């Protein structure tokens, strides 16, 4: 019985350490990157930011779930492409995990070229909003 307890404790320690290291890697990635963080807030059925204008460059999207009541996400698509088709989504802009109620999550670094894009959340669901890169 004593050996089983020891094994469980070791496994839990490894899991907690692994999760802490994942968080540190994510923090280091954001600090080492020259990406700008773009914070967007979702409420029930909408983003509070209806339009965004950015300069060409690298961005990390930080999505806040403000009491939507369930998980939310983030999808970014070049304007004119069919947003219902995942192959048209800019995958790096997806949040790294679904955003739980009253919390925040971030995307990976996403390089944006000059042009127009649309963003939305299929889980909330929200209308499509315009993101312009000058």
pTM of the entire predicted model? 0.77
Q: How confident is the model at residue 11 (pLDDT cuts 50, 70, 90)?
A: very low
pLDDT band at 32 (very low <50, low <70, confident <90, very high): low
Residue 122 has a CB neighbour count (10 Å cut-off) of: 14
93 and 115 housed in the same domain: yes
User: Are 16 and 53 in a shared domain?
Assistant: no
DSSP 134: -
* Cβ(33)–Cβ(62) below 8 Å: no
Neighbours of 27 (CB within 10 A): 10
For 94, other C-beta atoms within 10 Å of its C-beta total 20
**Among 74, 107, 111, 106, residue whose Cα is nearest residue 89:** 74
Mean pLDDT of the chain: 84
List the one residue out of 130, 60, 48 whose CA is nearest residue 93. Answer: 60
Q: Where are the beta strands (DSSP E) in 33-134?
A: 36-43, 46-47, 51-54, 57-65, 75-78, 104-106, 110-112, 115-120, 129-133
Residue 30 three-state SS: helix
Q: How confident is the model at residue 7 (pLDDT cuts 50, 70, 90)?
A: very low
Instruction: Name the residue range of residue 127's domain.
Output: 35-133
Number of structural domains, the chain? 2
The answer on pLDDT for 122 being more than 70 is yes
CATH of the domain at 58: 2.60.40.420
pLDDT, tens digit (0-9, with 9 covering 90-100), for 49-103: 999 999 999 999 999 999 999 999 999 999 999 999 999 999 999 999 999 999 9
> What percentage of the chain reaches a pLDDT higher than 70?
75
């Amino acid at each position: 019985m004593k050996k089983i307890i020891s094994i469980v404790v070791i496994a839990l320690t490894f899991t907690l350490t692994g999760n802490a290291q994942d968080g540190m890697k994510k923090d280091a990635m954001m600090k080492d990157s020259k990406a700008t963080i773009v914070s967007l807030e979702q409420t029930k059925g909408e983003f509070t930011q209806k339009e965004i204008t950015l300069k060409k460059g690298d961005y990390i999207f930080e999505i806040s779930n403000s009491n939507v009541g369930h998980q939310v996400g983030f999808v970014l698509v070049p304007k004119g492409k069919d947003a219902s088709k995942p192959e048209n989504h800019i995958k790096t802009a997806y949040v790294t995990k679904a955003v739980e109620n009253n919390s925040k999550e971030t995307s990976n670094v996403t390089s944006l070229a000059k042009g127009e894009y649309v963003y939305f959340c299929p889980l909330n669901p929200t209308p499509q909003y315009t993101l312009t890169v000058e």
